[in-house]
Structure 1
Amino acid sequence: SAWSCSAGMGMAMTYAVYMRKDEDTTLNAFTMGLANNSISIIAGLAVLSAIFAVESDPLATVTGGSSAITFLALPEVFAQAPGGNLGAWIMMSGFFLALSFAALTSMISTVELCVRNFVDHGYSRDRSVLLTSLAIFIFGIPSAVMWISFADDGTAFPQFLEVQDHIWGYGLMFSGLFIAFTIWKYGYVKWRSEVEAGQAPPGFRGYLGVGVSAFRDDFINTGDNDIWIGRWWDILIYLAFPILFTILIVSYFGDMIMNTPNVWDPSNPHGITIILLFWGVVATGFMFFNYKLVERPLFRNIPEGAEVDISGLPGGDDDLVCEAGSYPEGWEHLAKNSA
């Protein structure tokens, strides 16, 4: 879902930076997921029921996309509120105000995820926020100025929200893939290091015994969690996820290629080329910034009370990885950014 791979992922990774060492990660994740998905189901049932009660052609409205439902159908629903125009105005104002707050609060944590990466590499927070804001603005321009459709009554309707949903709805699955790949790589690297140290058996059996459960043992079942995560989690990450990811990607793109007219036309907002173009631009930007950032120091926060030094953290043996507040040789000038 969008929450799992976007807002939820951004919130979890961002807020993890500021959590206590003994934070109950599993309970927090379970609570957030249950609360979000439960409210989403209830809200979805309420919205769909209202649309089917008010609209003359509810199926056409629902298939018109989330933007059509939000900005065209729901105002008609609110117009049926008691109190005449005043009641409708109050309902619409309250709804769109709440929607704005929901978007803003979700965006803060997601943007902070990007900002934090720059800050951890020695950039000032002001400069990091400016770079992130400019990137968001620039990448949003094409969708904001293109693909304006008109309703039968001549009302202009911007499709840029639908275009973004079309492009990044599929991209969310790759966000999940990147997270899973990080878990897979961590387990493999830890298993190889223990094999070289003579602490783990080589071969596939050794990898199953040490590498597969490494992330779960080191970062999830820390001893501070009330909910213990068992082997079923490893099965989901290493077996179920790759299978489901492959099925979804093949089915989605296969259906798009077979049933979308002019699917390879780059100007088609519902085609496949526009997806690949946006993905390519963003991936190029990510690789460029990664190439630049990897040459700079990485400042790590050691949780208060942690009985380890910086060398005990992932990447701590790198000369450019240092504890927050200290600076590698030749990078002392970055101290002014934290002032």
Structure 2
Amino acid sequence: QNAWDTGAGWGLLLTYATYMDKQQPLVKNALITGIGNNVVSLIAGVVIFGTVFSILKTDMGMSQPEVLNVLRSSGPASTGLTLIWMPQLFTKMEFGQSFAILFFFGLSIAGFSSLMSMLELQTRVLIDIGIDRKVSLLLVGIISFLLGIPSAHSLTFFANQDFVWGIALVISGTFIAYAAVSYGCSALRKEEILIHNTDIKLGAYWDMLIKYFIPAGAIILLFWWFVLSATSYTANESLDPFKPYSIMTCLFQWSIAFFLLYCFNQKLGKITLHQDKK
């Protein structure tokens, strides 16, 4: 969830970092981002789950297992938790309509701001290989719009993409950790991170976290997710690539992405380095 919310697994933070001043305290900013994200997520979770239990258990007399079943099946990619139950909460509040307008307006702004960072990530890649910013932004906007049409048309397709690439963020985050290990965790920490006198000091424990904890955590999470998919989501169809929550649909789509990255990685890297030398 943190890989998604903070943009760490996407590489969004790397994109933001290209616009940061070297005097910015990196560790403080990272802590503020992570802690702020988790606090808001916890508060939102408490509000939503409390609302669901209150309405279904107290008002409608459902048992706890029945309520939990509703939570598990409340719309593809948990869309129902926000779009169904938050309005239910606002109807029971004083000035609920006004709060509902503010809430969904804020939610729209949050979604739009997230979209901006995603578009900037892709645009930055094209700029780095020498394409004009306006052209890059136009290309990214058009391609993103076209690729988003199937998800807008079908909630099943949307849920599949959310499932496949949500898990993939664990893998991409691990690749970022691998890049740090390849550079040298200690060198990265001393030469690139701890360059601000007022920043929080990172010790050698950070090197151990990057080298061992993140890869181990990624393996455990992926194993747990695959076991859950094989036993709960698609118990008898886990090898069917056309089932939205199967293991095979993840492996199939990831293999396509890995193949494309393998084919274009070195070429894009050479072009980017050539542009940097200009």
**What is the match of residue 80 of structure 2?**
68
SS of equivalent residue, structure 2 residue 276: strand
Matched, 1:179 2:187: no
Matched, 1:245 2:242: no
**What is the match of residue 41 of structure 1?**
42
CA separation of 1:11/1:270 partners in 2, compared to 1, >3 Å: closer, same or farther? Answer: closer
CA separation of 1:95/1:58 partners in 2, compared to 1, >3 Å: closer, same or farther? Answer: farther
CA separation of 1:279/1:225 partners in 2, compared to 1, >3 Å: closer, same or farther? Answer: farther
Q: Deviations over 1:8-28 (max 9, x none)?
A: 454421221111122111111
Question: C-alpha distance in 1, partners of 2:207/2:6?
Answer: 22
Which residue identity does 1:221 align to in structure 2? L
Which residue identity does 2:39 align to in structure 1? S
Q: 1:274 aligns with which of 249, 254, 263?
A: 249
Deviation of 1:117 (Å): 1.4
| RMSD of aligned alpha carbons | 2.5
Q: 1:1-339 residue pairs with structure 2 within 5 A?
A: 1-3=1-3, 7-8=7-8, 10-55=11-56, 56=60, 57-65=66-74, 66-82=78-94, 87-88=96-97, 90-146=98-154, 158-187=155-184, 212-259=185-232, 260=234, 261-290=236-265, 292-298=267-273, 320-323=274-277, 327=278
**What is the match of residue 152 of structure 1?**
none
Which structure has the greater CA radius of gyration?
1
Q: Deviations over 1:24-47 (max 9, x none)?
A: 111111111111111111121111
Work out whether residues 160 and 245 of structure 2, in 8 Å CA contact, stay in contact via their aligned partners in 1: yes
Question: C-alpha distance in 1, partners of 2:107/2:140?
Answer: 23
Work out whether residues 2 and 169 of structure 1, in 8 Å CA contact, stay in contact via their aligned partners in 2: no
- State the aligned residue count: 264
Deviation of 1:139 (Å): 3.3
Question: C-alpha distance in 2, partners of 1:48/1:32?
Answer: 24
Identity among equivalent pairs (%): 32
Work out whether residues 2 and 172 of structure 1, in 8 Å CA contact, stay in contact via their aligned partners in 2: no
Which stretch shifts more, 137-146 or 103-112?
137-146
Deviation of 1:102 (Å): 0.6
Q: Which has the higher contact order (CA 8 A, sep 6+)?
A: 2
Deviation of 1:273 (Å): 2.3
For structure 2, the 5+ residue unaligned runs are 61-65
Question: C-alpha distance in 2, partners of 1:297/1:241?
Answer: 28
SS of equivalent residue, structure 1 residue 229: coil
User: As a proportion of its length, which structure holds more helix?
Assistant: 2
Work out whether residues 26 and 225 of structure 1, in 8 Å CA contact, stay in contact via their aligned partners in 2: no
Work out whether residues 14 and 110 of structure 1, in 8 Å CA contact, stay in contact via their aligned partners in 2: no
For structure 1, the 5+ residue unaligned runs are 147-157, 188-211, 299-319, 328-339
- 4+ long deviations beyond 4 Å: 3-6, 8-11
Question: C-alpha distance in 2, partners of 1:278/1:6?
Answer: 24
Give the TM-score normalised by structure 2: 0.84
Which residue identity does 1:79 align to in structure 2? T
Q: Deviations over 1:253-312 (max 9, x none)?
A: 1232234231222331121222223323333444455355345354xxxxxxxxxxxxxx
Which stretch shifts more, 97-106 or 8-17?
8-17
